[in-house]
Structure 1
Amino acid sequence: MKAIKVRLWQDLVNYKKPTSFQLKETYPLPPYSTVIGMVHNLCQYQTYHAMKISIQGKNFSKVNDLYTRYEFKNGMTYDSKRHQLKVGDYGVGKGISTTELLVDVKLTLHIIPEDQSIVDEIYNAFLHPWEYPSLGRREDIAIIDKVKVVEVEEQILSKDIRMRKDYGAYIPKDWVENNYILFKNRQQGISDLGTRFQLTKNYELVNYGTKKNPKVFRKWNKKEVYYATYLSAPRKSRVYIDNDEKKDIVFMV
């Protein structure tokens, strides 16, 4: 199968965890839904195009930064002693809060569309983007270092393969359970040293109300993965490999 392989760099970025509020925590790598959203925006798709994604990368460090935070409650009228802003008859609180930022992020993405006929379309969208690419927040600009079309095939390894130094990846749960991927300190008695996440990938709109009074919400399809660094794939593992010069493992989900 064909994939679009993208290498990109970001200066300061937040891939926000949806359950963090007082401190906007960040994932170590962008979730699948974030990457899929960037692809759909660059291609200007109006409907969902199914695709598999592999995400790996690294960052230099993490810092905290301040941002302006606005708070309001539906139907709460303006109170000069409580609110800093008045919008119509309603009150809005304005203050500061903290966000985590990853520094000097380098990512390697593999994008494998289910419809292989749109591979060139996605490739050209990254090669000649119609607007500046962003990944994470709207202001988190992504600098595309390299984009190319590669072949991805399933292989049974004849020798051990190690990932690039300091690079981490989202690894499908079944790869870990089947020992296709090993962690650095497995021999010390701790088998799974990665962090487990349930990451959003795509969603469907579900009406939890009635036809007369619809209440439509997004029902997310989540994927359980491990995040870890210093990874290796042992001999006889069944993994996906691209045909690029460095022959990266493709952790497609």
Structure 2
Amino acid sequence: MKALRIRLQQSSANYRKEESDTNKMTYPLPPFSTVIGALHDACGYREYHPMDLSIQGKYESMHREPYTDHCFLNSIFPDRGVLVKMRNPELLSTAFEKVVAPRKSKGCDFRIRADANIFNEALYQEFIDLKDLNNQIEVFKNSRIKPVLEVIKRRKATLKSKKNRLDKKSEEYLKLNRREAQIKATEKHIKDEFEKYKENHYTKPISKFRSLITSLKFYEILNNIELLIHVAAEDNILEDILNNIYNLKAIGRSEDFVEVIEAKIVELVQDDDCDVTSSYSAYLDYRDIKKGLLMPTNIGDETKGEGGTRYGLNKNYQIIDGKRIFNKKSVLYLSEYCIEETSDRVWLDRDGEQAYIVNLI
């Protein structure tokens, strides 16, 4: 079988685990979807081109690297973070304008200028006007709307009491019923108009203002990484990757740059009688481990199971009903393993005296 062998080096990288947040943990090797995405980007592909991968490698050490995380709160807290105005909140944009920050951490009131460090006077005044308007709306609600609704409530109770004493088929009952419907319609109109005014003049405009806070979080960073990747695909795809391999800039984060050491089309071979031990860690197909096609060599008395770490890794995805549905692969990450014979998914890449085990997934 023809395949493309790619040897890469990275001084550092984070292959982020999707479920990690405060501490952005890393996989020991880049997942299939990460490598496939990087190769597609290097080739300028805008749709998925089928390929199978074997991902192997090793790293020297790991450390934690701090970074500042920015988070927008849904509510406004004058003593927490910086008040900002979102430019396009309807489009999920993260662009914003800084408005004001508190001068002290407790007991802050943005309407008191002595408490406020103002960055944008116009937006600050817009925010203050909205807060003042909200106070006026609440005063109007309590002084004008609420008394009217109380009168309506009492009137409805009176009508209900009268109706309970009448025959439902009588003319007087039907007259009271029509009057009750009119009163309910008036009540609904008053409530709807009030809420409509508040929504348009306060709720929507104030929703563009958010509290921006920062927190210290950490990346797990792998150091001095060596990657050995084999790609099996149609000949034209292999040629595209080979011709564009130096467009491959990073794997992991955008700052996790790669150095291409080698890119070469090779012939993978089958050998029914071989005894090869890998010098790399790798993602191995869990089915092949269970079948004994790939054998861990580091299982001892203190090691349980298959001697590695099992992952469910994304490979490619389909969009179904507007959602990305990933094709997940069950793999075992092993640092030491060997084979005694090849199979339909386990091949050898012989490079002089060196032989690489290639488990295509």
In structure 2, what is the Cα distance between the partners aligned to 1:27 and 1:36? 16
Residue 205 (structure 1) aligned with residue 311 (structure 2): no
Aligned residue in 2 for 1:193 = 307
Unaligned runs of 5+ in 1: 208-215
2:293–2:342 Cα contact (<8 Å) kept? yes
Equivalences for residues 198-237 of structure 1 within 5 A: 198-207=312-321, 216-234=322-340, 236-237=341-342
Residue 163 (structure 1) aligned with residue 286 (structure 2): no
Q: What TM-score do the two structures reach when normalised by structure 1?
A: 0.87
Residue 98 (structure 1) aligned with residue 218 (structure 2): yes
CA offsets 1:29-49 (integer angstroms, 9 cap, x no match): 000000000100100101110
Runs of 4+, deviation exceeding 3 Å = 77-80, 185-191
Report the alpha carbon displacement of residue 87 of structure 1 after superposing the two structures with TM: 3.5
**SS of 2:318 mapped into structure 1:** strand
Q: What TM-score do the two structures reach when normalised by structure 2?
A: 0.62
In structure 2, what is the Cα distance between the partners aligned to 1:157 and 1:33? 31
Identity level (%)? 33
Residue 121 (structure 1) aligned with residue 240 (structure 2): yes
| One-letter code aligned to 2:228 | T
CA offsets 1:77-129 (integer angstroms, 9 cap, x no match): 5433223351332232222101100011100001112x322211110111x42
1:85–1:57: structure 2 CA closer, same or farther, 3 Å change rule? farther
1:55–1:169 Cα contact (<8 Å) kept? yes
1:86–1:30: structure 2 CA closer, same or farther, 3 Å change rule? same
CA offsets 1:183-227 (integer angstroms, 9 cap, x no match): 1234658551010000000111122xxxxxxxx221111000000
In structure 2, what is the Cα distance between the partners aligned to 1:229 and 1:25? 19
| One-letter code aligned to 1:110 | H
Higher helix share: 2
In structure 1, what is the Cα distance between the partners aligned to 2:45 and 2:299? 43
Residue 178 (structure 1) aligned with residue 284 (structure 2): no
Larger radius of gyration: 2
Higher strand share: 1
Residue 86 (structure 1) aligned with residue 84 (structure 2): yes
| One-letter code aligned to 1:23 | N
**SS of 1:67 mapped into structure 2:** strand
1:116–1:34: structure 2 CA closer, same or farther, 3 Å change rule? same
Aligned residue in 1 for 2:23 = 23
Aligned residue in 1 for 2:347 = 240
In structure 1, what is the Cα distance between the partners aligned to 2:83 and 2:59? 38
**SS of 1:240 mapped into structure 2:** strand
Aligned residue in 2 for 1:213 = none
Aligned residue in 2 for 1:146 = 262
Report the alpha carbon displacement of residue 61 of structure 1 after superposing the two structures with TM: 0.7
CA offsets 1:62-90 (integer angstroms, 9 cap, x no match): 100101111225xx254332233513322
2:298–2:336 Cα contact (<8 Å) kept? no
Q: CA RMSD in A?
A: 1.8
Report the alpha carbon displacement of residue 181 of structure 1 after superposing the two structures with TM: 1.3
**SS of 2:67 mapped into structure 1:** strand
Aligned residue in 1 for 2:359 = 251
- The number of residue pairs the alignment matches comes to 235
**SS of 1:26 mapped into structure 2:** coil
Larger relative contact order (C-alpha < 8 A, sep ≥ 6)?
2
Aligned residue in 2 for 1:65 = 65
Return 241-250 or 20-29, whichever deviates more.
241-250
Residue 11 (structure 1) aligned with residue 117 (structure 2): no
1:85–1:10: structure 2 CA closer, same or farther, 3 Å change rule? farther
Unaligned runs of 5+ in 2: 87-208
**SS of 1:41 mapped into structure 2:** helix
